[in-house]
A and B are shown apart, each in its own frame.
Chain A
Amino acid sequence: DAGVIQSPRHEVTEMGQEVTLRCKPISGHDYLFWYRQTMMRGLELLIYFNNNVPIDDSGMPEDRFSAKMPNASFSTLKIQPSEPRDSAVYFCASSFGLAGVYNEQFFGPGTRLTVL
């Protein structure tokens, strides 16, 4: 079975450019999470969706960040305009929530973003 798929795996861009990260969750999973990992701040939850609906976006750093999930098999995280401090590894994860049972999350390989 395919795991969580993220693209691109690496992205190098210049400050001010728009960046779009993509994620395909595991089929049948109803939760999708976006995380950012940096040396300074560790692993931070940015936003998560349940059945394509954003549930908690309190971790989104600022208005430059936006995330969408138009259907159950696709999500995007967009940064516009990008800044050097956005450089990080961005992970997408998915999970199956079952009536109060908090199951494990399956992580994608991550997108390493470098903003020059």
Chain B
Amino acid sequence: AQKVTQAQTEISVVEKEDVTLDCVYETRDTTYYLFWYKQPPSGELVFLIRRNSFDEQNEISGRYSWNFQKSTSSFNFTITASQVVDSAVYFCALSEAGGGFKTIFGAGTRLFVKA
């Protein structure tokens, strides 16, 4: 069965600090997709990144970077030089190829960035 664990419920940092949000997943499928979504205070979920299980390359997009390690079943998200606008709830999610299009979301990590 698929499962996504985001052990960090809340993280609080001061602006300009780097912060890493952890995501650990469980799946029996060899083909799967991992996602990160951001939910700002406005409430709408916004897609950040998608990774498939055959692509372990890390990715950087501006101040955001993602580290995908199949050996530890982790897909961690790092924000460099955090800003107040990064304050949001961040969700990691998993879709198994054998599970149709069903997506399981982690519980989310609430990030507070203080000025």
Q: Which residue numbers of A lie inside 8 Å of B, CB to CB?
A: 31, 33, 42-43, 45, 48, 50, 55-56, 89, 91, 93, 95, 97, 100-110
Q: Which of A43, A50, A109 contacts B101 (CB 8 A)?
A: A50
Closest to B42 in A: A109
Please tell me if B107 contacts chain A, counting CB pairs below 8 Å: yes
CA distance A55 to B37 in the complex (A): 23
Q: 6 tightest CB-CB pairs across the interface, nearest first?
A: A104-B47, A107-B45, A102-B33, A43-B105, A102-B95, A42-B107
Closest to B33 in A: A102
CB within 8 Å for A45 and B97 given contacts A104-B50, A106-B47: no
- Closest beta carbon of chain A to B82's beta carbon, Å: 23
Chain B residues near A107: list those with CB within 8 A: 37, 44-46
Chain A residues near B107: list those with CB within 8 A: 42
